[in-house]
Structure 1
């Protein structure tokens, strides 16, 4: 990614992105208020985060996971009825992040959140080694998961920023600080699984200590600020999280974890999908450990591998969380881990697979009743090829 002129398909990526972003803006501008032309709320997922922030700001933290209450709150905050169901399933810590936006109208809050996300993306690229990443910022905006993160009002660009900062601190030898910063992902702790495995393999005591201290602090803050919400979340995790993908309102087409891959491929067979995901995850860990052994392996390769491993280990990864793949895309290229041709192939396969994933899965589910998720398959193949090349 250092010399974009070497990518002959970059112009096509820009054309596709212009159509994508242009179509979204067209849909938004022809709507009324916070409702777009299709009758959906602008920002889609952002409405649940915005309502959660309102609940916390107004002292209604006990009803953070009362989905009927949250539904009516969302409708009242928007001031109009809209299609779709947006249940707040993430940890209570996320509500703290969104509480400052409760003082603004919904559309203003969404615009501010989107602008913040772009600033975070810019700085994430700087953390990864680009001092003034104008061209790389523009190229990143062609990646469908980045588009999804921004237009869905998701927090994936914040996650990218945090993990990029963790890498920078870790590379500089600030292990304790890297661990502390990683705890910011307490709102989606599953995104840390690959990094945790990496630090366990490396016996990185300072990093793990920092992470534990940070998570304890985040948990203590949540327990003090919203104890009822914490209890509700733990109960929800126990009773509903295991079967979350089976709920009618769950957007299975956007799911890109390895578990989600088998769940879709097997026609929504939960138990079989869990078994295959467990076996695949175990195989991925073995390949990961073998590939990252030895002193000759660079920090960039190790951290890139950890990000890829997360997709094997986390039971819940959505299309916008593929934004994290910008980390290995940048680091592997800058470190010249493989030949330029191989890295271009990796980037192309993942870019195309992510771009077509939602539509491809939707068509397959309607016609066949099961689906092969191309985005997840691309991650599996790229990861396996990358790790096996280190043997």
Structure 2
């Protein structure tokens, strides 16, 4: 059994194609059925369709009224949510910095459900477009089909929550895609992650270690520019409101106000198995420092040697950075696993072009289904899967950094090109 998993020979082209279409079709059917069973915008569980998008929309409405600082007032923000959907509904807090209002403010000019559709389609299309570019092989042809991308369970999870993981994936993936060819634009895109800063923890360390200085400074300038623009448009009181509201975000994390099984971080894993808050923070810090050290060492080693043998090293480095970002943040929810699509696409494409390494196919398959099962297994068995699977993906991505271009890695367990592009 272990030899079969190690070699990946249990997963052939036919199975890959069938499973991709099955997951994509099942996702579409569930989404259509869920909407059909909803009444007056309220889903079968009693929550507004879009769930978390209600928070974004309410905050944007408040900002449009000229009181952006009140977006972080629970009383004011909760009142706006209640106006949108009267009745008994859970409150959805707004934890994002004022930079995020730059993105979602125009949506409040539209009716709620129109805005939700525009938000998901626009950000989702951007993410898929980036992933498709990342999935092109050395010959320029697609290595991974659209069905496999749309069938990735995190796509459905993010859509169901009306969340912003498509946007973070588009920015992170776009930065990886452009690191080699247009480093300034790549850095500017990565700087856009300041709207969700806990996912950008690893970026300055990684860009500095790889000596990608143009991207490094562009990233910083982009982040500072967006902060300045948001302060100019919404006032410093908005930033004061956000900083004051960070205490609520911390309480949400530490007190399990968000369902612990829904959280996917190392911190949450410790809490899920009964560990203390202190133990959670301790292990989270240890893992965060560890992945940053491992990643920067790998990047520095390649940079110091004066070579990047791969033809597209930035994409491989970006894949490792995306996995590291998921491991470094203590505040991570199941929809944030959408970011795993970047290493999944890059590592699969690399394996198809150059041969898969031992265990690589098994790990990639585990990562692909992770967003579908991690929450339910956490609830039922109190087993936190996400940190272990993401750590395995991180190890694979780091192992690919600096490998020889155009040549297969030593002892591939599957020949190049054995999995389907469609």
Output the TM-score relative to the length of structure 1: 0.88
CA separation of 1:165 and 1:359: change in aligned 2, threshold 3 A: same
Which runs of 5 or more residues in structure 2 are unaligned? 1-10, 404-422
1:91 is matched with 97
Alignment-derived partner of residue 368 in structure 1: none
CA contact (8 A) 1:92 1:230 kept: yes
C-alpha offsets along residues 172-197 of structure 1, whole Å, 9 cap, x if unaligned? 1x222222222222210222223322
**What does 1:25-36 align with in structure 2 at a 5 Å threshold?**
25-36=32-43
Residue 271 (structure 2) pairs with residue 231 (structure 1): no
For 2:356 and 2:320, locate their aligned partners in 1 and report how far apart those are by CA, in whole Å: 17
What is the distance in 1 between the residues matched to 2:253 and 2:396? 29
Q: 2:320 aligns with which of 286, 305, 310?
A: 305
Q: Which secondary structure does the structure 2 equivalent of 1:220 belong to?
A: helix
Alignment map for 1:180-219 (pairs within 5 Å): 180-219=188-227
Aligned residue in 2 for 1:121: 127
The change in CA–CA distance for 1:194 and 1:372 in structure 2 (over 3 A counts) is same
Shift of 1:350: 0.9
Alpha-carbon distance, 1:45 to partner = 0.6
Question: What is the aligned partner in structure 2 of residue 285 from structure 1?
Answer: 292
Trace 1:66-215 onto structure 2 (pairs within 5 A): 66-78=73-85, 80-130=86-136, 136-172=145-181, 174-215=182-223
Given candidates 332, 336, 339, the residue that maps to 1:324 is 339
Using the alignment, how far apart are the partners of 1:230 and 1:21 within structure 2?
39
Partner of 2:278: 271
Deviation at 1:134, TM superposition (A): 11
C-alpha distance in 2 between matches for 1:121 and 1:389:
23
- Aligned counterparts of 1:47 and 1:108: Cα–Cα separation in 2: 13
**Alpha-carbon distance between aligned partners in 1 of 2:384 and 2:17, rounded to the nearest angstrom:** 24
Aligned partners of 2:394, 2:14: CA distance in 1, in Å?
A: 21
Q: Which digits, 9 at most, give the CA deviation of each residue in 1:32-74, with x for residues without a partner?
A: 2211222110011110011111111121212111112212211
Greater relative contact order, per chain length (Cα 8 Å cut-off, separation 6+): 2
Residues 1:340 and 1:7: Cα distance change in structure 2 (over 3 Å): farther
Q: Indicate the residue corresponding to 2:410 in structure 1.
A: none
* CA distance in 1: counterparts of 2:276 and 2:64, whole angstroms: 41
> Do structure 1's residue 378 and structure 2's residue 393 form an aligned pair?
no
Indicate conservation of the 8 Å contact 1:35/1:82, yes or no: no
Cα distance change of structure 1 residues 379 and 259 upon mapping to structure 2, 3 Å threshold: same
Higher mean Cα deviation, 186-195 or 152-161?
Answer: 186-195
- Cα distance change, pair 134–205 in 1 and its aligned pair in 2 (3 A): closer
Cα deviation for residue 283 of structure 1 reads 2.5
Cα RMSD over matched residues?
Answer: 2.6
Which of 244, 266, 271 is residue 252 of structure 2 equivalent to?
244
Q: Is the 8 A contact 1:56 1:96 kept in 2?
A: no
Q: Distance in 1 between matches of 2:338 and 2:253?
A: 21
Can you list the C-alpha shifts for 1:59-90, whole angstroms capped at 9, x where unaligned?
A: 12121111122122112123x32532210011
CA distance in 1, matches of 2:320, 2:100: 27
Distance verdict in 2 for CA 1:348–1:127, change over 3 Å: same
Preserved contact between residue 179 and residue 186 of structure 2 (Cα < 8 Å): yes
Q: Could you give the per-residue CA deviations for residues 286-324 of structure 1, whole angstroms, max 9, x where no partner exists?
A: 332343322346333222111111122122222111111
Structure 1 stretches of at least 4 aligned residues deviating more than 6 Å after TM superposition: 131-135
After superposing the two structures, state which structure 1 stretch, 125-134 or 43-52, moved more. Answer: 125-134
| Alpha carbons 2:335, 2:371 under 8 Å: kept | no
Q: 1:268 to 1:111 in 2, by over 3 A?
A: farther
Instruction: Compare 302-311 and 328-337 and name the one that shifted more.
Output: 328-337
Q: Distance in 1 between matches of 2:252 and 2:157?
A: 21
